[in-house]
Chains A and B, each alone.
Chain A
Amino acid sequence: QVQLQESGPGLVKPSQTLSLTCTVSGGSTSCHNCYWTWIRQPAGKGLEWIGRIYTSGSTNYNPSLKSRVTISLDTSRNQFSLTLGSVTAADTAVYYCARGHYDSRRPLDSWGQGTLVTVSS
């Protein structure tokens, strides 16, 4: 059973860069036809898809965040990472990492527990 765990600073200053890592256990980030993704949820609001990376390394990003987001994959460490630049208070949210699939008929079937990132000086 695949498990995911987010890690990174819980507090980031405005205009700085948010960096988070997701460590995968019980499975491989090299898995066939897998996508590794980041999703966030501001307090009291809905889920927002940030972006995803395929096992080949190709990426897709939410157009609303694309200019500030990078997702990378480190298969040797079985991890993938998120960087979000020029953060503001609007980026304060719980950030989740999750596993998805190339087949759209398969859901986001494994999620991390989420990590709260607060943007504040």
Chain B
Amino acid sequence: QSVLTQPPSVSGAPGQRVTISCTGSSSNIGPGYGVHWYQQIPGTAPKVVIYADTNRPSGVPDRFSGSKSGTSASLAITGLQAEDEADYYCQSYDNSLYGWVFGGGTRLTVL
């Protein structure tokens, strides 16, 4: 049972838009701690695609965007491409655990 809750899977056709939600609580996302999103291709280490809620690292396509409201955050991917097929994880800090927490991960399938 992960501290942050994500849907197990989402899917979309090429060119479509998908969103992945991440629900937390008043001890993690709520107080304003940064929410980060990672993309993980099976067999490789996670890679940051969104940091501090809405920021995109250099090299990440602008098709990726993040948002946050209250105790939830979302990752949106527009113009879906086959290369976007991966697992996505949200992550934040939790002040009741004094550490970092992850969502359970969402498998994105490009149909």
From known contacts A46-B2, A46-B105, infer whether A108 and B99 are also in contact, taking CB-CB under 8 Å: no
Chain B 87-111, CB within 8 Å of chain A: the 1/0 string?
A: 0010111000111111111000000
From known contacts A105-B34, A111-B46, infer whether A49 and B92 are also in contact, taking CB-CB under 8 Å: no
The interface residues of chain A, by DSSP majority, are classed as loop
- The answer to whether A51 and B89 touch across the interface, beta carbons within 8 angstroms, is no
Partner pick for B104 among A46, A51, A104, CB 8 A cutoff: A46
A78 at interface, CB cutoff 8 A: no
- For the complex formed, measure the closest distance between the CB of B23 and the CB atoms of chain A, giving whole angstroms: 15
Chain A 84-121, CB within 8 Å of chain B: the 1/0 string?
A: 00000000000010001001111111011110000000
> Total contacts A to B, CB within 8 angstroms?
66
A48 at interface, CB cutoff 8 A: yes
Residues of chain A with a CB closer than 8 A to B102's CB: 39, 46-49
- For the complex formed, measure the closest distance between the CB of A2 and the CB atoms of chain B, giving whole angstroms: 13
Q: Which A residues form the contact surface with B (CB < 8 A)?
A: 37, 39, 46-49, 51-52, 60-63, 96, 100, 103-109, 111-114
